[in-house]
Amino acid sequence: MNNETQNKFFAINWSQYGQASNKSEMCDTFVSAFMDCEHTHEFGAEAQSWKEYSQVVEINPAGDVVNSTYFVTI
């Protein structure tokens, strides 16, 4: 399978304290993007209520979001 037809992944590390985020480089696998997460305990959609959390986003070749997974520090 050609890399151009595969989904890509990237991590976003969110902090509401600084109202800023940090986006990682594009990765070929979920695990590679997960390694860029700073807050790595899975907590589901409720992670958005925490002050700091990470998110791994999967996009298809067209650039559409296919899936998002949230992780927080507990």
Instruction: Please choose, from the candidates 24, 41, 32, the residue with its C-alpha nearest in 3D space to the C-alpha of residue 6.
Output: 32
Q: 54 and 40 in contact (C-beta within 8 Å)?
A: yes
- What was the pLDDT predicted at 43? 60
pLDDT in tens, 16-74: 766 678 899 999 999 999 999 988 766 666 666 677 889 999 999 999 999 999 988 76
pLDDT at 7 over 80: yes
- 56 Cβ contact partners less than 8 Å away, ≥ 6 residues apart: 9, 10, 11, 30, 33, 34, 37, 68, 69, 71
* pTM of the complete model: 0.80
